[in-house]
Structure 1
């Protein structure tokens, strides 16, 4: 209406303009959630043409998808209700919004239990921590596994709700479930340095190489250091994880220790403790290294999850948290599977995997 009239509500510029606001009129439209009454703005000379709900339009579609999209972005039921009031002048109750989001529970369960490929060159495992209000607000880990298929696609394998802090025992149950869904072999599992996790991984996939996530190592390095040193530290660490061999990496890390060890001894200790799970990375072809260090494909997922979790602050139930993260996953890809190409140079990487892990990689992953 403001654009149509050329001036804001109550603006003196509208005096004598020949046209002005003339309140609203009620209108009932049919939606997927039933009849909804909205308030349509009017002007004095009836020249205003509504853009969101057109004149004589009696059916409004896409309400469900709007609700699901806003939920995926982390909006609460109250905020979504207010959004509809602002945009449509319509009141959509919190209960109605909850019923819409509850419709995806069956879809989410089907997605969570779908069969998976027989082999994955790489699986990344991580946890997103959310606040759940269950009597009292507690931090709960939501476990996420992301696979790279033999076709070079990102495949989000599932999301699992844990209890208390992140633990290797729960990861063992998650990885066992993934195996039971058809994953017979994984070449490399990339994870953080959680105690007991390498043993849990090799219990499920005996031949899997356990690789400490380089991204986690660098991120944890920054947690111990002042922000003003992050860029310098990143530059000094790059020669370590891009070294051609373990001995060369040791030399570069000795230089890093000489520069930063006295000021930040905890960083040096952290890298020393993680070294045995870090060094397998150094034996790989550069193409395999690129796949493991591909931050974009991982961070695009993590960033989507973090935005949704931050926007909500906390969730009323575990199910609400799972729904939000599932809808965020669904929004990554129109097919609802969360798939995307991992890297543009996939064929060289596939060749490197096939040679390094001879006999374990098949062209179609089955």
Structure 2
């Protein structure tokens, strides 16, 4: 798939969010060596709450937010230790899932705040994905070339002009350029 994207004109990918970051890392960095692969936290949160009864959502959500919103990697690890102590007896599989991704969650905490905002639910990446999904769903079965062309058109539209959301995402783009410079 990544080879097809590159052949379709995608010159580089500097950040990739995936629900399966370990699997995507090798594939992405083979095609784009500078790519930084991160965990799709909204996806992890969704799958977590699918496994937990509603009456525990608030308390568990508070503890997960401490990991998700950690100021640095050490804070993320400290927050996870507290989560493990509290929730392992009730939801050992949920705790194991977060533990499997702890290194990526800690690495995410080291990113600049605007980049973490873009990776969060409701962030720029989610908005782009949603727009592409709506475009694909709006018509009959589409080819891969059409999907790539639509993704490029959406990306160009979203980064052009003086729309309010372009100004809103300017700090994200600036932090992104600093953290993931083009080679």
TM > 0.5: yes
Structure 1 segment 13-162 matched on structure 2, within 5 A: none
Q: How many pairs does the alignment contain?
A: 168
Shift of 1:280: 2.2
Partner of 2:173: 350
1:189 equivalent to 2:16? Answer yes
Partner of 1:210: 37
Instruction: Note closer, same or farther for the CA distance 1:299–1:266 as it changes in structure 2 (3 Å cut).
Output: farther
The normalised TM-score by structure 1 is 0.40
Greater strand percent: which structure? 1
Partner of 2:64: 237
Cα offsets for 1:15-60 (capped at 9, x unmatched):
xxxxxxxxxxxxxxxxxxxxxxxxxxxxxxxxxxxxxxxxxxxxxx
Partner of 2:162: none
The answer on whether the counterparts of 2:21 and 2:38 sit within 8 Å (CA) in structure 1 is no
The answer on whether the counterparts of 1:193 and 1:274 sit within 8 Å (CA) in structure 2 is no
C-alpha distance in structure 2 between counterparts of 1:291 and 1:337, whole Å: 16
Shift of 1:250: 0.8
1:253 equivalent to 2:80? Answer yes
Instruction: Note closer, same or farther for the CA distance 1:304–1:201 as it changes in structure 2 (3 Å cut).
Output: closer
C-alpha distance in structure 1 between counterparts of 2:123 and 2:180, whole Å: 25
Unaligned runs of 5+ residues in structure 2 are 160-164
Instruction: Note closer, same or farther for the CA distance 1:195–1:356 as it changes in structure 2 (3 Å cut).
Output: closer
Q: Look up the SS of the partner of 2:13 in the other structure.
A: strand
C-alpha distance in structure 1 between counterparts of 2:36 and 2:96, whole Å: 23
Q: Look up the SS of the partner of 2:84 in the other structure.
A: helix
C-alpha distance in structure 1 between counterparts of 2:50 and 2:110, whole Å: 28
The normalised TM-score by structure 2 is 0.75
**CA RMSD, 1 decimal:** 3.2
Shift of 1:197: 2.0
1:225 equivalent to 2:52? Answer yes
C-alpha distance in structure 2 between counterparts of 1:232 and 1:247, whole Å: 22
Shift of 1:243: 0.9
C-alpha distance in structure 2 between counterparts of 1:299 and 1:354, whole Å: 20
Q: Look up the SS of the partner of 1:190 in the other structure.
A: strand
Unaligned runs of 5+ residues in structure 1 are 1-173, 310-318, 331-335, 362-366
Greater helix percent: which structure? 2
C-alpha distance in structure 2 between counterparts of 1:337 and 1:305, whole Å: 11
